[in-house]
Amino acid sequence: MSTEILDQPVVEKEKAPEPVKRVSIIISRGTLDGVYPGLIMANGARMEGIEATVFFTFFGMNAVLKDKMDKLKVATVGNPAMGMPTLLGAIPGMSAFASKMMMKEMDKLDIPPVSEFLEMIEDSGGEVYACKAAFEMFHLKKEDLCPQVKDIITIGDFYEKSAGAQIIFT
């Protein structure tokens, strides 16, 4: 009886993907369309039992500044997703109009303002941090920040807190 060795690849069973356990979200843009995706992702993560850390840097810091957080606008100039020429976006009042329309649509969907979103994230166990470099560059004071900011940290601290997490940049 002869035996043949077949040159067939060994088929391994596909492993189910590991569930996401931790996310660290970096928010660097200070516009409505720059801040909300990260807030929605962080809140959604917490609702799914996933640990969430949100790190605000550069103009994203506007979302954690008490005097700016609920006054964010949509960027209408240089924003190709707006579907309008840049020149139209530069018309005085266009950003305010687009922002008002977006907030109206978000209100219909029961999407909360930034300040309330940050409260929800913190209350559910999410952590909110401000970037030390941006904090110093913009000459901010601790009292400028909303109470949900747990600490002002360096990028090294952020990486340490993000060990083993999926890092998402919005």
Give 20's contacts (C-beta < 8 A, 6+ positions apart): 45, 50, 166
Task: Please give the pLDDT value at position 129.
Answer: 98
Task: Please give the pLDDT value at position 14.
Answer: 82
Residue 34 forms part of a structural domain: yes
Residue 86 forms part of a structural domain: no
pTM score, two decimals? 0.82
Q: Which domain holds residue 135?
A: 22-74+113-169
Residue 1 forms part of a structural domain: no
Residue 27 forms part of a structural domain: yes
Structure tokens at 101: 């329309």
For residue 62, the domain's CATH number is 3.40.1260.10
Number of domain units in the chain: 1
Task: Please give the pLDDT value at position 37.
Answer: 95
Residue 45 forms part of a structural domain: yes
167 contacts 22 by C-beta, under 8 angstroms: no
Residue 101 forms part of a structural domain: no
> pLDDT by residue for the chain (170 residues), tens digit each?
555 555 666 667 788 888 899 999 999 999 988 999 999 999 999 999 999 999 999 999 999 999 999 999 887 666 666 666 565 556 666 677 776 777 888 888 888 999 999 999 999 999 999 999 999 999 999 999 999 999 999 999 999 999 999 999 98
Task: Please give the pLDDT value at position 124.
Answer: 97
Task: Please give the pLDDT value at position 27.
Answer: 98
